[in-house]
Amino acid sequence: MHTAQSIINDLKAGKVQPLYFLMGEEPFFIDQVSTYFETALLPEAARGFDQTVVYGKDTTIDMLVSNAKRYPMISDRQLIIVKEAQNLSRTIEQLLPYAKQPQLSTTFVLCYKYKSLDKRKALYKALSKQHIVLESKRIYDSKIPAWISSHLQNKALQITPKAAHLLAEFLGNDLAKITNELGKLELVVGEDRNITPELIEHNIGISKDFNNFELQNALANGNQVKAYQIVQYFSKNSNQHPIVLTIATLYSFFSKIMTLHTVDSQNPQTMAKAIGVNPYFLKDYTMAARHFPMRRISGVFETLRLMDVKSKGVDANLSPKDLYQELLFRIFKV
């Protein structure tokens, strides 16, 4: 299976194919490959002659194929990049004859965002057999911290597990936004090349002490004072810390604790894998499991469902402060 990085690595090694079809729900990886083609495949002096960038809404398959069959003017190859190629979805199957017999002196790149080809159709079968197909899939929220760590490793940077989770919580799964913020941190990281929660707090504005991650830890340890301090901070900054996000985060947290209760093993790696967390954080979940047996977790789920309804104004009109305080009161009471 081709990935964005494997395609770029092949291009750097001079392994260039005649046709690339970049498709899928996650635009980040499609843009990453497309940008490399646009900025690095041809020498800068040749781009005005042998590089063409068009948008799907401004062209047709016939026009693209006609252009692709031309010979390069001054380079060994010409490059054609079709951005927003999903706008050609109704006629995309017309590309099949060209896919079967491409012009070898043309590198043809189609960026088919937010959707994928029907894998039952002849075009996909031809592309996957003869050419390079990238299927760019969304990364699950739970996998974002690992993706952040891997992305930084490619830049000879490290990040602590807690710092990776802080960024994931604050930035969500918008990979372009995450990459932009990581770029800022790369400029200010110290000689140790290690990104810490403190570095993030000073340069991005994410509090290392008042966030959903620390709220989970406070609940796991039964630290009511710390938990109430955190939600007080949340209620004063409710735009950055909407209660619906906190409820969703806690639901995921307690779901993992419930799963942990069912794991018939004391092996840390097995336990961490079963609940889908970095082994570094396993101690937080085992601590929480001591404070929250199965019976209490059932009560927590009821509380989260109730507060989710109240946060949406159903049978209640409470301020963020009242919502957060009632949420904690009910969790500690169950």
Whichever domain contains 164, its CATH number is: 1.10.8.60
Q: Is 184:203 a contact under the CB 8 Å cutoff?
A: yes
What pLDDT is recorded for position 64? 97
What pLDDT is recorded for position 288? 94
Instruction: Assess whether 162 and 115 both reside in one domain.
Output: no
Its domain, for residue 19, covers: 4-135
What pLDDT is recorded for position 175? 93
pTM for the complete prediction?
0.79
Instruction: Assess whether 62 and 101 both reside in one domain.
Output: yes
What pLDDT is recorded for position 89? 96
Instruction: Assess whether 147 and 218 both reside in one domain.
Output: no
What pLDDT is recorded for position 270? 94
What pLDDT is recorded for position 274? 94
What pLDDT is recorded for position 21? 98
DSSP letter for 115, please.
B
Give the chain's count of helices (H) and strands (E). 17, 7
Low-confidence ranges of the chain (pLDDT < 50): none
Q: Is 52:25 a contact under the CB 8 Å cutoff?
A: no
What pLDDT is recorded for position 206? 86
Instruction: Assess whether 185 and 271 both reside in one domain.
Output: no
Examine the fold and report which residue of 204, 225, 259 is the final residue of a domain before the chain moves on.
204
Phi/psi for 131 (5° steps) reads -130, -170
What pLDDT is recorded for position 141? 84
Total of domains in the chain: 3
What pLDDT is recorded for position 199? 93
Instruction: Assess whether 9 and 124 both reside in one domain.
Output: yes
Instruction: Assess whether 229 and 303 both reside in one domain.
Output: yes
